[in-house]
Structure 1
Amino acid sequence: MHLPPLDVAVYPVVTMSHGRHGGRSVRPSSAVSSSSSSSTSSQPRVASPDFSSIQKIIRNVFRSSKITVQQAERLQGRLYQVYLARLADGSSLILKCPPNYTTRSLRHEKHGLETERKTLETLREYTQLPVPQVIKYDSHGGSFGSPFLLMSHVPGRRLSELSSYLSASERNAIDRALGAYVRTLSSLSATQFGMTHRVFAKKGSSSWREAFLALLESVLRDAEDMLVTVPYDSIRYYVGRHSHFLDEVTEPRLVALNVCDPQNVLVDEETKQVTGLIGFTNVIWGDALMSGGITDGSEAFFEGFGECPARTGGVKSRQLIYTTYRATVQIAAQHYRPHLGIDELEARRSLTYALNELAQM
């Protein structure tokens, strides 16, 4: 596999600011067992695999008819169809498939499986992070007829399921570990800016300003397609007015936007330690300040990260620009997929706050 030139670098450590940072809001998630008698979708490009399809996929990947899937469990996912396959030998695999044909996707979500595959392979090669191993990625799906990503299973319960049972010290330890993991992620660099599938195809941007404005315009058009009410003119104007601060970012860093989402952090139920990170479909190469966890990181998170970014000058402007982007994505996603449980009012408050702050700077 051809990877973009990557250089592991470390940001200089500065004295950490001990200011207060808001905590994350978490929502419980649950797993839903899939029935072995459920039928596959009539849409071949976005089929929902039944039990026999899952077993066939796994047997084809390993080229063995002796492999037996004892149980296939549908896991809760916000967009993709995710299955936990338990094999007769006691091992487990994760099968990830595109959304079914009734699910609307935003523009930046179109290449999610490809992004996750390339990101995981990069992380397995250049870091020691606890992430799944890619076993097989098939962009066509063969006889299954739909793309799929087959991965190793990382043990642990989602942080979203355990969060309410954690003590303050246990949560601080988890945040500290996440800070260190985000530091490792953002130490990886590439030669171009932009979405992962474009960077790996050497079709990325030479400037972060160009790449980010393209991302923002993409989600604004998503919102326009659904007639979502947001202040389009204000977003474009105030982000454009401060966009020169994006030129301060001269080296593309790996930015995993959802890495600290409680649904993407796996924790050992007994030790309360982080066992794995999952959900790398939303990864770009850009400004490390945009990485998941940094905007609302706790004091313990920044202890693990090694520094707390100064919230002044160009850094503050960039953070407000990224808040504008994230809020707009959340608002648009809520209209595309209302079942996500996104707090749209909170997203709109964040958007209003960011635009007001940008207007006063």
Structure 2
Amino acid sequence: MAAAPPERSVLSLLNGISPRLSVQELEVVPSARLQRLYNVKVTEGPSLLLALPPPTVMRLLRSEKSSIGSEAAVLKWLSAVAREKRTSPASGSKETLGRTTGDSSTSERTTHSLSGYLPILVRHESTGGGLATEYNLSRPSRGVAVSALSRPLTHRERRIVDFQVGQLLRRISTQVSPTRRFGIAADVLSVPPSVVHNPARRLEGGLHESRGAESWRVAFHNLMEAILRDGEDLTIMLNYSTIRRHFYRFEHLLDAVTEPRLVVLDAGEDSNTLVIRPGDGINRSQAKLISVRKTSGSPERVGIRSEDERAVESDDEDEGEEEYTISKGQIEVTGLRQWSNCIFGDPLLASVFSKRPRPSQDFWRGFDKPIPGDEREPTLIEDTPNAHIRLLLYECYHAVVSLVGEFYRPQNDGGKRELAARKHLGGVLARLEELDDSGGQRRRRMSGEMSPAKRPRSGEDEDDSDD
């Protein structure tokens, strides 16, 4: 008997969820992650998004397991936090605003709340046994991924989107672990291992049983070791000893991160950022006004950039001071496609901070600008003088993830991405090598200067002259 087509299997699953669910159309949604996504159009009510785990034949990294359960746990937690804020006396005005306009998600996006950017989890199920079933059914945020737009962003649209993405990442970063522990969301929020993918333990000696770690140093070390062991499992050629050596040189700097903030690792990526562009078939019912003004470099990012990177900033400042607004008729960031790749730790671990070119000035203005209600936390990045060194460790981690991922799931054009990842990793390791153990730049010898090892010992010249 031939295997049922994917669409038929999905329809059968949906019918099992609710026989009264009348599916009008089923559409495959491109996914930046490994989940299989389907847009479910129903005869009554808004469309739904069905998320299924990757096929069982797909080889996964240790950090990629339990993505369905992790996403469900994060959304449930964030929704509970939002409900608490709405019911508190201080937030009564915001709740009234949502009821008055009739569009709570849009009005909440104009406040400090993150709830306006969240999908609504309708149902999550994880059932083992002979027919293991695992899925998330949600009402997604409106919009389309930036990477899937029919027309690329214009220069002005890119600046607007970058600013709003910076603001969204700031909103995400203000959320702190409910247990005050560090680590991947699956560990901290006690998500059971996936019933579909084995082995059940994500990493030998991992942090699931302890529900995370007490320090960011331990949590990030666990992350780094997980991806290095993934590479060692397939005997991938990497500078394992060099990577570990640099981690041990600078691991003490990770202890400066004391707040386990929520980090969506792929937040800000074009493939995971949803936008509404007027004229693309999605109407808006509420105008939004945000002022964006060019300012000098904020203190939050001064310590993050190296000297060379800060010198490049001048290219972006040549446009002069400008102010523009995001109002009705402008493009708007509405949320993320997926919330499955989450960790509690340093906000700088988000992949957007490790990309080349670096985040734009508009992104930084959005990330640096306090959102109404969070003025008590003007700075989200801890220990800014050493943040650039932590960022090098994070760049190293992301480069290794990209490189190892190409071997776990080979693709036709994977060779180019592998070479790019190796080049990026080599550059990061070279920059780490330029730092001494205290984090300062190693002194470079002038051309023709003799190495200290070859210099004559004190007194040798005098002895020679006496002869």
Partner-residue secondary structure (3-state), 1:165: coil
Partner-residue secondary structure (3-state), 1:113: helix
Partner-residue secondary structure (3-state), 2:118: coil
> Contact 1:266/1:275 (CA < 8 Å) preserved in 2?
yes
Question: What is the alpha-carbon distance in structure 2 between the residues aligned to residue 175 and residue 313 of structure 1?
Answer: 25
Matched letter for residue 265 of structure 1 = T
C-alpha deviation, 1:156, in angstroms: 1.7
Assess, with a 3 A threshold, how the Cα gap between structure 1 residues 356 and 252 changes in structure 2: closer, same or farther. Answer: same
Question: What is the alpha-carbon distance in structure 1 between the residues aligned to residue 212 and residue 128 of structure 2?
Answer: 27
C-alpha deviation, 1:322, in angstroms: 0.2
Matched letter for residue 148 of structure 1 = Y
- Which aligned pairs between 1:311-326 and structure 2 lie closer than 5 A? 313-326=385-398
C-alpha deviation, 1:141, in angstroms: 6.8
Question: What is the alpha-carbon distance in structure 2 between the residues aligned to residue 221 and residue 133 of structure 1?
Answer: 36
* Number of the residue aligned with 1:334: 406
Assess, with a 3 A threshold, how the Cα gap between structure 1 residues 264 and 348 changes in structure 2: closer, same or farther. Answer: same
Question: What is the alpha-carbon distance in structure 2 between the residues aligned to residue 200 and residue 252 of structure 1?
Answer: 13
Are 1:304 and 2:366 counterparts? yes
C-alpha deviation, 1:224, in angstroms: 1.2
- Which aligned pairs between 1:102-121 and structure 2 lie closer than 5 A? 102-121=57-76
* Number of the residue aligned with 1:80: 35
Assess, with a 3 A threshold, how the Cα gap between structure 1 residues 87 and 39 changes in structure 2: closer, same or farther. Answer: farther
C-alpha deviation, 1:183, in angstroms: 0.4
CA-to-partner distance for each residue in 1:63-121, whole Å, 9 max, x for gaps?
xx332112212222241111111112253111111111221100001121111111222
Partner-residue secondary structure (3-state), 2:137: strand
> Contact 1:334/1:340 (CA < 8 Å) preserved in 2?
no
Question: What is the alpha-carbon distance in structure 2 between the residues aligned to residue 198 and residue 161 of structure 1?
Answer: 32
* Number of the residue aligned with 1:245: 253
What TM-score results when the alignment is normalised by the length of structure 2? 0.63
* Number of the residue aligned with 1:6: none
Matched letter for residue 343 of structure 2 = I
* Number of the residue aligned with 2:174: 187
Matched letter for residue 27 of structure 2 = E
Assess, with a 3 A threshold, how the Cα gap between structure 1 residues 231 and 292 changes in structure 2: closer, same or farther. Answer: closer
Are 1:50 and 2:7 counterparts? yes
- Which aligned pairs between 1:1-361 and structure 2 lie closer than 5 A? 39-40=3-4, 49-51=6-8, 53-62=9-18, 65-77=19-31, 78-89=33-44, 91-126=46-81, 127-140=114-127, 145-162=132-149, 165-190=152-177, 191-201=180-190, 203-270=211-278, 271-295=330-354, 296-306=358-368, 313-339=385-411, 343-361=417-435
Partner-residue secondary structure (3-state), 1:115: helix
Question: What is the alpha-carbon distance in structure 2 between the residues aligned to residue 167 and residue 86 of structure 1?
Answer: 31
CA-to-partner distance for each residue in 1:104-152, whole Å, 9 max, x for gaps?
1000011211111112223333332412111111111789632111111
> Contact 1:123/1:129 (CA < 8 Å) preserved in 2?
no
Task: Give unmatched runs, 5+ long, in structure 1.
Answer: 1-37, 41-47
C-alpha deviation, 1:269, in angstroms: 3.3
Give the number of equivalent residue pairs: 314
* Number of the residue aligned with 2:281: none
Partner-residue secondary structure (3-state), 1:293: helix
> Contact 1:260/1:293 (CA < 8 Å) preserved in 2?
yes
Partner-residue secondary structure (3-state), 2:127: coil
Q: Which moved more, 1:212-221 or 1:165-174?
A: 165-174
> Contact 2:351/2:398 (CA < 8 Å) preserved in 1?
no
> Contact 1:57/1:144 (CA < 8 Å) preserved in 2?
no
> Contact 1:267/1:274 (CA < 8 Å) preserved in 2?
yes
* Number of the residue aligned with 2:294: none
Matched letter for residue 106 of structure 1 = L
Bigger RCO (CA 8 Å, 6+ sep): 1
What TM-score results when the alignment is normalised by the length of structure 1? 0.80
> Contact 1:196/1:285 (CA < 8 Å) preserved in 2?
yes
Question: What is the alpha-carbon distance in structure 2 between the residues aligned to residue 162 and residue 143 of structure 1?
Answer: 41
Question: What is the alpha-carbon distance in structure 2 between the residues aligned to residue 224 and residue 325 of structure 1?
Answer: 15
- Percent identity over paired residues: 32
Partner-residue secondary structure (3-state), 2:268: coil
CA-to-partner distance for each residue in 1:235-266, whole Å, 9 max, x for gaps?
01111111111111112111110011111111
Larger radius of gyration: 2
Partner-residue secondary structure (3-state), 1:338: coil
Assess, with a 3 A threshold, how the Cα gap between structure 1 residues 39 and 208 changes in structure 2: closer, same or farther. Answer: same
Partner-residue secondary structure (3-state), 2:335: strand
C-alpha deviation, 1:200, in angstroms: 1.5
Partner-residue secondary structure (3-state), 1:154: coil
Question: What is the alpha-carbon distance in structure 1 between the residues aligned to residue 184 and residue 37 of structure 2?
Answer: 23
Task: Give unmatched runs, 5+ long, in structure 2.
Answer: 82-113, 191-209, 279-329, 370-378, 436-467
Matched letter for residue 287 of structure 1 = D
